[in-house]
Amino acid sequence: MGVCPIRYLKDFSSSGLFLVISTDSQEKDLKMEGDYIKNMKIKILGSGQDAGIPHTGCYCDVCTRARKDTNYRRLGPSIAVFDKKEGFCYFIDASPDFKYQLDMVREYVNIIRRKGIIPISGILLTHAHFGHCSGLWHLGLEVVDEKNLLVYCTQKMGELLRRDHPFNLLVQRKNIKIKEIQPDKEFELDGFRYVPIQVPHRNKVADTVGYIIKSKKRTIYIPDIDHWTDRIIEEIKTADIAIIDGTFYSKDEISRFDDVPHPPIKETIKLLEDVNTDIYFTHINHTNAINRNGKERKNVESKGFKIAHDGMIIDI
């Protein structure tokens, strides 16, 4: 099977098929929102599953290759929503690779906007699993001892952060300041409007949300989900851009699938094949066949889907 760096695979997939032509109503919204909204973008900071690629303790061909050549690496799942001109930048999720991901947005942030050490404006959390919130620990006393970085999360997630170690220490020391959000209730941050939506996902300790990001386009980000629901399928269909769970290609690639269920890409592409939305798969596990330049990857791309990679920029 051929080997092909992710950067090369990126070019392989950029066919121009996915250019979105603005509708009249989108143009109208754009004018109403003012000029700066034109510069809003998303950067994929990590396209890997929680532990990324290489995966912890794994020496499969995909992980071995990623250790040798960082072009094949996928960091923990996170995106930046930013406007370079305005100098603001929000992360969705704080992955274990948070320190590397901050380096990936240095050119977009305006440090004088904040008095803290971390130059981003805030972090929006999806849920309490390792890959999505453990990066917060970098903000504590042992690392940067940050001051009041805004962390947006649901009430249940907020309770967990206030209650459980090590996050409770970050709250007590005011390294982070929790801002509670509610599913289906829109909120605005520096001109970005977000709607959190509830997501079915192994919610043993808190709950899980995805985010609809409203700019001149409508973007939905759902990195982690157990199974697609009618509501979420409808949200994907009505979005311009969807960046969604592509953890596994098929159910049989992992023996403990039932413990960590995700909708396999093989089934998702059948479900969403006729949808007009630009769909990107992210949260990609090291076992996923699309990490190789083989028939599975070709199947995904030939049907008009994209595969996210670290550093990818998407206009929103």
Residues lying near Zn ion in the complex (CB under 5 A): 50, 55, 58, 60, 63, 129, 131, 224, 286
Q: Cβ neighbours of residue 43 under 8 Å, at least 6 residues apart? A: 79, 80, 82, 104, 105, 108, 311, 312, 313, 314
Smallest separation (angstroms) from Zn ion to the CB of 95: 9
Q: Report the alpha-carbon distance of residue 217 to residue 38 in Å, rounded.
A: 10
Q: Between 230-238 and 265-272, two packed helices, what is the crossing angle to 10 degrees?
A: 60
Q: Which is nearer to Zn ion, 36 or 59 (CB)?
A: 59
Q: Cβ neighbours of residue 38 under 8 Å, at least 6 residues apart? A: 30, 216
Q: Which is nearer to Zn ion, 52 or 131 (CB)?
A: 131
Q: Which is nearer to Zn ion, 37 or 307 (CB)?
A: 307
Q: Phi/psi of residue 48, each to 5°?
A: -90, 165
Q: Phi/psi of residue 279, each to 5°?
A: -110, 125
Smallest separation (angstroms) from Zn ion to the CB of 130: 8
Smallest separation (angstroms) from Zn ion to the CB of 203: 9
Neighbours of 56 (CB within 10 A): 10
Smallest separation (angstroms) from Zn ion to the CB of 53: 7
SS3 107: helix
Q: Which is nearer to Zn ion, 40 or 157 (CB)?
A: 157
Q: Report the alpha-carbon distance of residue 305 to residue 17 in Å, rounded.
A: 10
β-sheet bridge partners, residue 313: 43
Q: Which is nearer to Zn ion, 223 or 304 (CB)?
A: 223
Long-range contacts of 196-205 (CB under 8 A, 24+ apart): 196/154, 197/222, 197/231, 197/232, 197/235, 199/126, 199/127, 199/224, 199/225, 199/232, 200/225, 200/226, 200/227, 200/229, 201/127, 201/225, 201/226, 202/129, 202/226, 202/260, 203/127, 205/128, 205/160
Smallest separation (angstroms) from Zn ion to the CB of 243: 13
Q: Which is nearer to Zn ion, 63 or 149 (CB)?
A: 63
The helix or strand, by DSSP H or E, that contains position 278, with its residue range, turns out to be: strand 278-282
Q: Which is nearer to Zn ion, 76 or 119 (CB)?
A: 76
Smallest separation (angstroms) from Zn ion to the CB of 127: 6
Q: Which is nearer to Zn ion, 30 or 58 (CB)?
A: 58
SS3 112: helix
Smallest separation (angstroms) from Zn ion to the CB of 47: 12
Q: Which is nearer to Zn ion, 96 or 304 (CB)?
A: 96
Q: What share of the chain is helix, strand, coil (3-state, %, to 5)?
A: 30, 20, 45
Smallest separation (angstroms) from Zn ion to the CB of 63: 3
Smallest separation (angstroms) from Zn ion to the CB of 62: 5
